[in-house]
Structure 1
Amino acid sequence: MFKYVIIANDYPESLALAQKLKIILTDREMQEDIIAPEYVFVIGGDGTLLRAVNEFQDILDEVCLIVVKSGSLGFYANYDEKTVTQAIDDIINDTAHIQQLPLLEVKFNNNQIRYALNEVKIVDHVKTIRTDIYINDELLEYFRGSGLVFATSTGSTGYMRAIGGAIILSNKHKLWEMKEIAPVANSTFSTITAPLILDDSQSVILEGELIDKQIIIDTYEYEANNNLVEIKFSDKTLNLIYNHRQNQSTTAKLQTLFAYCNNVNKRGDR
């Protein structure tokens, strides 16, 4: 017997699948526990997964997540309604395959710590952000612009890609990325502007006029109340149970994602 919780988005098909899954788990004498589950079943897309990551920040490295696709395309999901029972069987039989996904650790507001699966953004779309960027306590540059974004390798396919960042394909190396958002550039001042690839030995410290700036961690927003933010590769990982029978490489997932987007654009679907 194991303890579980189900998190689903608000679409009718997802809620129906959640109810069906709860019946299956109850019939197998599994115990629902919304506070300290061992397994989190996520029904929906990547946004629903980010919600689960946010809800279980304090025990992220102690739980395993199973992402079940429901409707929309999910970059992290490789189970569906037909195969989710395989995940339950694999857990019971101790044959589940676990993929450890990288997390970024963000320290802000007097040592408050949060973890990001996709990206961290520090932004102000009204006033220019003025902050100094240090890498391992060594000054990199005096940044002036609308913001900065930091992404994991898996997160680099999302917002980071949309603003001209690099996609990190490597699975063998612990890499993450920094990119400037709308940096100031004129005849007297300019910044690096190019994406910066970092490894797990490097941390970034931002020190400057950050009070009241927005800190967005996987779509969840916080307001900075001091002038210091630290971002680094976390020692913690997200434990994702995946369907090894249908597992795709990152390259294959990218091909599927872009093919899906191209087809949507051709049809004019919304």
Structure 2
Amino acid sequence: MKVSIIANHSEKSRLATERLKALIADTEIQLEEKKPDIVISIGGDGTLLSAFHRYAHMLDEIRFVGIHTGHLGFYTDWRDYELEELVESLLQDEGSSVSYPLLDVTIFFDDQKETQHFLALNECTIKRINRTMVADIFIKEEIFERFRGDGLSVATPTGSTGYNKSVGGAVLHPRVNALQMTQIASLNNRVYRSLGSPIIIANNEWITIDLQAADDYLLSVDQLNLPQSSITSIQYRIADERIHFTSYRHTHFWRRVKDAFIEESPERQGEA
């Protein structure tokens, strides 16, 4: 087995990385950055997002493992004090995995000759920097509404617990192979009438956002911020690719939601 380790810059992550490498050195597991079988992220969800984008071109060939060294994350199933157990699980690996849907994002520009393509694990958000945003929204090829407001966020089911939730979107289980569009501070008056509610799109449909001409759009794909000056439209659909996680220990999704948003953690109880 070949593994790649990606860690953030915190002291706990540095120590966990050193310990993990020392444990791996005593086994037949090899460290390999270019073509790993498993990518291990050490840090939090942001670290795993970085690892995902680094290896997005190899999703059919690799699986991910998340070790969290801070607060509980949605993509991190192991703690930094469980490295011995993780290495033992790697040694007994049989290739099993659990997969999540991804968001396929295609960006079109005013010259109509060039496009940009991204995969998102969490969400893609489009806003204007200086003014409210105006856009026509199509579902498949049919106009659905004209939107005016601060922006729009399109999220995967796993991304539904992040920014999508903070702007009023629903939380979707990852087995729901769908995407969700949520409006950010929409305006409703006699000129602009929009639904105002999140909408969930089936995996055989897609969303196209045709944007009013402007030079101050800010597009975010997960944690990547991409200022755009000549963008004309964005198309969103469920990607053909999926992200795969090892299933040695995979926390039930609703347990993650409960731990993150409802149930007080033992650490916080101890602070009381």
Structures share fold, TM-score greater than 0.5:
yes
Provide the secondary structure at the position in 1 that maps to 2:77: coil
List, as ranges, runs of 4+ consecutive aligned residues in structure 1 with deviation greater than 6 Å: 261-269
1:219 correspondence with 2:212: no
Provide the secondary structure at the position in 2 that maps to 1:28: coil
1:123 correspondence with 2:122: no
Counterpart CA distance in 1 for 2:270 and 2:91 is: 43
1:176 correspondence with 2:170: no
TM-aligned CA distance change 1:48 to 1:118, over 3 Å: same
Counting only pairs closer than 5 Å after superposition, residues 131-210 of structure 1 correspond to structure 2 as 131-169=135-173, 171=175, 173-209=176-212
TM-aligned CA distance change 1:31 to 1:200, over 3 Å: same
Provide the secondary structure at the position in 1 that maps to 2:153: strand
Give the conservation status (yes or no) of the 8 Å contact 1:41–1:68: yes
Alpha-carbon deviations, 1:242-263, whole Å to 9, x = none? 333xx43222211111246689
Counterpart CA distance in 1 for 2:20 and 2:253 is: 28
1:9 alignment partner in structure 2? 8
TM-aligned CA distance change 1:193 to 1:40, over 3 Å: same
1:111 alignment partner in structure 2? 115
**How far did 1:98 drift?**
0.9
Counterpart CA distance in 1 for 2:102 and 2:28 is: 33
Normalized against structure 2, the TM-score is what?
0.88
**How far did 1:267 drift?**
9.5
**How far did 1:53 drift?**
1.3
Counterpart CA distance in 1 for 2:94 and 2:140 is: 41
1:237 alignment partner in structure 2? 242
TM-aligned CA distance change 1:261 to 1:141, over 3 Å: farther
**How far did 1:114 drift?**
0.9
Alpha-carbon deviations, 1:135-166, whole Å to 9, x = none? 11111111222110011111111111111111
Letter of the 1:67 counterpart: G
Counterpart CA distance in 1 for 2:174 and 2:51 is: 25
Counterpart CA distance in 2 for 1:261 and 1:160 is: 22
Normalized against structure 1, the TM-score is what?
0.88
Alpha-carbon deviations, 1:46-91, whole Å to 9, x = none? 1111111122222233211110121221111111234344444444
Counting only pairs closer than 5 Å after superposition, residues 15-26 of structure 1 correspond to structure 2 as 15-26=14-25
Counterpart CA distance in 1 for 2:25 and 2:180 is: 43
Give the conservation status (yes or no) of the 8 Å contact 1:87–1:96: no
User: Structure 1 vs Structure 2: percent identity of aligned residues?
Assistant: 28
**How far did 1:31 drift?**
2.9
What is the count of residue pairs matched by the alignment?
265
TM-aligned CA distance change 1:262 to 1:161, over 3 Å: farther
Counting only pairs closer than 5 Å after superposition, residues 37-52 of structure 1 correspond to structure 2 as 37-52=36-51
Counterpart CA distance in 2 for 1:189 and 1:266 is: 47
Alpha-carbon deviations, 1:146-200, whole Å to 9, x = none? 11001111111111111111111362x3122001111122243221110001111
TM-aligned CA distance change 1:115 to 1:238, over 3 Å: same
**How far did 1:235 drift?**
0.9
Provide the secondary structure at the position in 2 that maps to 1:105: strand
Counterpart CA distance in 1 for 2:269 and 2:88 is: 40
Letter of the 1:52 counterpart: A
**How far did 1:95 drift?**
2.7
- Structure 1, unaligned runs of 5 or more: none
Give the conservation status (yes or no) of the 8 Å contact 1:116–1:217: yes
1:77 alignment partner in structure 2? 76
**How far did 1:106 drift?**
0.6
Give the conservation status (yes or no) of the 8 Å contact 2:155–2:179: yes
Alpha-carbon deviations, 1:90-149, whole Å to 9, x = none? 444333531101110111153321111111101114212222111111111112221100
